[in-house]
Amino acid sequence: MAANDYYTSFNPNSRRDDAPLPPASTSPQRPHVDTHLVHNTISPVTSPFSDNTYPAKPQNDFHTDSSYHGASSQYSSAPDPFADHNAIPMQHQNMKYDPNTSPIEAEGQYQRGGRHGRRRSRKKGWFAGRVPWMVYILTAAQIAVFIGSIIKYAVLTGRPIATTPQFNPMIGPSTPLLINMGALYQPCMRNTEGVQNSSIPVGWPCPGAKTNATECTLSELCGFGGVPNPHPNGSIDDKPSPNQWWRFIVPIFLHSGLIHITFNMLVQVTLAREIEQSIGSLRFALVYFASGIFGFVLGGNYAGTGVASMGASGALFGIIALLLLELLYSWRDRPKPLRDLAMLVLTIVIAFVLGLLPGLDNFSHIGGFLMGLVIGICILHSPNALRERAGMDEPPYNPVTPGGRVPQFASVKAFARQPVGFFIGRKPWWWAWWLVRVGALVGALVGFIALLQNFYVHRSDCDWCKYLSCIPVNDWCEQGVLRFQETPSKRDLFAVDRARMLGMY
């Protein structure tokens, strides 16, 4: 994105007493900066989330900024009680001062003077830095939905946890109740083999069933206003067909039990919160929802037809993908990049291996991780090494407001006023990386459209894909497939509670 060249004058009324900002100099020499103060406030390592830029030519005026990314941690200095100090840091923490980098070029690192700046810099722990609104809102919504599912099941059955006909090991309601509340379930979303083309009526379990009896219709099981019920001797091409497409989105907020939601929320309020503070709420929301939705779309195509899938796992794997990109982007700036990479790869491999066990949705994990990588390439800035070579010519075109503060969305407004200035003077490596970004975005869109087309139109299957989400032992790979039990008058869906409940990570 474009960097901004800001010009302003020093505010003589600043109340900062320890180290006032030096006045802007009109001389060709670089103004003097208090190295002791900057040594304690500026990190020379540029995180891929902060998008600090390198001037294309010597910049004599140090009042420049490259406000490209949304989040800045300018007030975050207190330790975080939720932070994992053994985890891979979002930024290299070795505090060194680069005399060639001005305080304002290190976006958000030089704390603003005045009483307000000192008051905000004293924020501690969980409330330090930019407020991660998306994480707070998502977490509150997901907890509320889980509580609602417990209450609804308790109203229908008289107990909050499913114990009959099968016990829910995740400590939550039954599978039919979760399907009724919006879990990904293919028969509620499209015509399904063995359902629409059955020669006799098909019975389905009720959301509040305490036995294996199948006394409800498909419409009653799916809820949300219902779906067209299949009729005997129908066709796989019957119209109208079930089309609850929102089941690609709603399951992000739905969890199968207390254990499931606890693990997901722990990851969300720690790792995901830190990443939102680094990249901003808008970019975080884009990666989160794109990864979660794509994971469910991938699972809808290749998981078993009787699978009920739910959870924020795919979305969180997209956030983990951003962490991998951050590591690769800042490889040369890290003291021990191989160690960091080994730790992260080990974590990812363990999660994918666990996804092969019954009850875990590996398709959601894989799809979310891949989409997180692709969207991350599109919305994060270039790798540090490439920025030094190709991103050195960020054309200035946007002034700051009086007092040195950058207005919100200033870069976007400036680009709208002078779009041509963003592309003038760019080097070949800059254009090459933007071609990579465009290619990644096009690939993501093509893949998403192709999977949706396959889900609703072609319905082509992949015989070996199931082994990405199961181990072929004890009939694990046969779980989640719709099985029907013939009765004298109808076909009953056999033991839907034994169908694999996915998304439990």
Task: Please give the residue that has the higher pLDDT: either 240 or 355.
Answer: 240
Both tokens assigned to 490: 């109808």
Whose tokens are 């939601």? That residue is: 261
Give the separation between CA 346 and CA 419, rounded to whole angstroms.
Answer: 43
Alpha helix stretches (DSSP H) within 56-194 = 115-121, 133-157, 175-180
Determine the pLDDT at residue 464.
84
What is d(CA 272, CA 256) in angstroms, rounded to the nearest whole number?
21
- In this predicted structure, what is the pLDDT of residue 123? 53
Q: Is the pLDDT of residue 203 over 50?
A: yes
Lookup: tokens for 461 = 């299957």
Instruction: Give the start-to-end residue ranges of the domains of the chain.
Output: 1-130+396-425, 133-380+438-499
The predicted structure's pLDDT at residue 423: 77
SS3 state at 254: coil
Res 28 pLDDT > 70 = no
Q: Write the pLDDT tens digit of every residue in 67-119.
A: 334 444 444 445 555 555 555 444 444 444 444 443 323 333 434 444 444 44
Structure tokens at 333: 């700036």
pLDDT at residue 475, as a whole number: 77
Nearest-angstrom CA–CA distance, 502 and 355: 9
| String of DSSP letters for 261-280 | HHHHHHHIIIIIHHHHHHH-
Query: 491-493 and 484-486 as β-strands: parallel, antiparallel, unpaired?
Result: antiparallel
Tokens of 345: 């790869």
- Where b means 16+ CB within 10 Å and e means fewer, 41-59 reads bbbbbbbbbbbbbbbbeeb
Share of the chain above pLDDT 70, in %: 65
The confidence band for 372, taking pLDDT boundaries of 50, 70 and 90, is very high
Task: Please compute the mean of the pLDDT values over residues 280-304 and round it to a whole number.
Answer: 95
In 251-382, DSSP assigns E strands to 308-309
Partners of 65 in the β-ladder: 4
Could you report the per-residue pLDDT of 318-361, keeping only the tens digit for each?
999 999 999 999 998 889 999 999 999 998 998 888 888 776 78
Please give the average per-residue pLDDT across 208-226, as a whole number.
91
* C-alpha–C-alpha distance, residues 415 and 421, integer Å: 8
Q: Residue 121 is encoded by which pair of tokens?
A: 């810099």
Span 197-218, average pLDDT: 88
Given a contact cutoff of 8 angstroms between Cβ atoms, the answer to whether 291 and 374 are in contact is: no
Neighbours of 422 (CB within 10 A): 17
Structural contact between residues 369 and 318, judged by C-beta atoms closer than 8 angstroms: yes
Mean pLDDT of the chain: 75
Whether the Cβ atoms of residue 365 and residue 350 lie closer than 8 Å to each other? no
Q: Which of 122-126, 241-245, 470-474 holds the top average pLDDT?
A: 241-245
Residue 297 CB coordination number (10 Å): 23
Active site members: 313, 365
Q: Are strands 491-493 and 202-203 parallel, antiparallel or unpaired?
A: parallel
User: Does residue 469 surpass a pLDDT of 70?
Assistant: yes
pTM, rounded to two decimals: 0.71
Q: What's the rounded Cα separation, in Å, for the pair 439 and 3? A: 23
**HEC-encoded secondary structure of 376-400:** HHHHCCCCHHHHHHHCCCCCCCCCC
pLDDT in tens, 386-442: 877 765 544 433 333 444 444 445 566 777 787 777 777 788 888 888 899 999 999
Confidence of residue 23 (pLDDT cuts 50, 70, 90): low
How many Å apart are CA 217 and CA 229, to the nearest integer?
7
In the chain, what is the straight-line distance between the N-terminal and C-terminal CA atoms, in Å?
36
Helix (H) or strand (E) holding 288: helix 281-302
Least confident stretch, 58-67, 198-207, 360-369:
58-67
Q: Tell me the per-residue pLDDT of 141-192, one tens digit each, with 9 for 90 and over.
A: 999 999 999 999 999 999 999 998 888 989 999 999 999 999 999 999 999 9
For residue 105, CA distances in Å to 43, 398, 411 come to 11, 14, 15
- Cα 103 to Cα 502: distance, rounded to the nearest angstrom: 49
